Structure 1
Amino acid sequence: MTAREDVDRVRARVEALPDPELPMITLGELGVIRSADTAGDGCVEVGFTPTFLGCPAIPAITEAIEEVLRDCGHSDGRVRHELTPAWTPDLITPTGREKLAAHGIAPPVDRNSTETRSRISVEIGSPTSAETRPGTSAGVRDRTSVETRSRTSVETGDRTSVEIGDRTSVETGAFGGPTSVGLGLGTPCPHCGSQDTRPHSSFGPTRCQSMLRCAECREIFPCITAT
């Protein structure tokens, strides 16, 4: 076995370790293992980034990695805590996200993705206008409701532009033609898939989780907190 193959074996075993606070997923699926390599002095080093500074699971994860190093014949191996760049929920693998959802835990959505960007476009057929504030609704023929955290402008004509905050739900009728609405800025509910979700409590089962509530199925569920 070459030195590179040996290091790759160490990394594979480390990435297969379960997370102490979220044992349904591995450290690799959580995206906290940043590197595994041979240092200048010949010792094998594993780079580990905690989900947030002060995470109570850091000692347990460090000890588990050190045990893997010893078991692989590297009693002098080291664990390096890499604090920059910081961990973000975007590092959770698709498999990890599926496992979290299966256990009723939702990772935050990627705010930079096309599906969750903060500008959506609505195509309608007849001009009208409405301006809404938080907790208000504006009617556009059949029904239009806009829920936002911040002020939202809705200008409806042949082409409608809706500028929204982090979470918006829009249902709209149409004047003489089909309506196309881009939706979905909330963290998807792991129970029903709705993105009409909102904060419920800052305190969750662990320090890296908060609680959200789904307006569709009315379930309360934990969410991985973005750093």
Structure 2
Amino acid sequence: MVTAVRNDADLRQRAWDAAAEVVDPEIPALTIADLGVLRGVAINNGCVEVAITPTYSGCPAMNMITLEIELALEREGFKHSKVRTVLSPAWTTDWMSDDGRRKLKAYGIAPPQAGSGRRALFGELEVACPQCGCGDTEVLSEFGSTSCKALWRCRSCREPFDYFKCH
């Protein structure tokens, strides 16, 4: 019995590692693990089940992410897999890894600030420019290049940039 549990743990880790390498098609600098979209992996009767949570309901990238997870698992030898979308609890930017936040900034997108959701609601959000680091920035539009981003501009270097919205 101990061997079966260990084998399931090994299989679960292999499956997690394969799924964790899948990139977000809208922000290819980030993996779904960086984003916190990858929520869990289970082994049930030899079948791999991966749980993912979209950054917001209706996210168009989820179909592609599901397909890419299935392909990644198949490449690792998992013939029977299932990807399940979990909507509760709702995804939050607090689930993003620190590494993911660094990758976003390097990619030119201002990362969400941990715990800044309430300040954003009351217009007190300060976002540093990912190009020059200046904090003197302004919102141009709540709608950026994708639904999970807003368009901002730096008043110092005058460059526009995406800001990953807090949820």
The residue number in structure 1 matching 2:3 is: none
Shift of 1:198: 2.2
Which secondary structure does the structure 1 equivalent of 2:140 belong to? strand
- Kept in 1, the 8 Å contact 2:37–2:53? The answer is yes
Flag the structure with more relative contact order, 1 or 2, with Cα contacts below 8 A and sequence separation at least 6: 2
Question: Would you tell me which structure has more helix in proportion to its own residues?
Answer: 2
Report the AA paired with residue 205 of structure 1: S
- Give the CA RMSD over aligned residues: 2.2
* Structure 1 residue corresponding to 2:63, chosen from 56, 59, 66: 59
Shift of 1:111: 3.5
Shift of 1:110: 2.3
Shift of 1:117: 8.7
Residues 40-68 of structure 1: CA deviation (Å, up to 9, x unaligned): x4421111011111111111000011112
Residues 115-134 of structure 1: CA deviation (Å, up to 9, x unaligned): x996xxxxxxxxxxxxxxxx
Matched, 1:25 2:57: no
Alignment of 1:95-174 (within 5 A): 95-111=99-115, 165-167=122-124
Normalising by structure 1, what TM-score?
Answer: 0.64
Which secondary structure does the structure 1 equivalent of 2:26 belong to? coil
Which secondary structure does the structure 2 equivalent of 1:2 belong to? helix
Report the AA paired with residue 215 of structure 1: R
5+ unaligned residues in a row in structure 1: which ranges?
119-148, 150-164, 168-184
Residues 57-109 of structure 1: CA deviation (Å, up to 9, x unaligned): 11100001111222233322110101111112222211111111112101222
Of 202-211 and 77-86, deviating more is: 202-211
Runs of 4+ with deviation above 4 angstroms: none
Residues 4-57 of structure 1: CA deviation (Å, up to 9, x unaligned): 111101101111111111001111111110000123x44211110111111111
Matched, 1:205 2:138: no
Normalising by structure 2, what TM-score?
Answer: 0.85
Residues 149-199 of structure 1: CA deviation (Å, up to 9, x unaligned): 9xxxxxxxxxxxxxxx543xxxxxxxxxxxxxxxxx412211122233221
- Kept in 2, the 8 Å contact 1:109–1:188? The answer is no
CA distance in 1, matches of 2:166, 2:51: 21
Alignment of 1:72-91 (within 5 A): 72-91=76-95
Give me the identity figure in percent: 40
Number of residue equivalences: 161
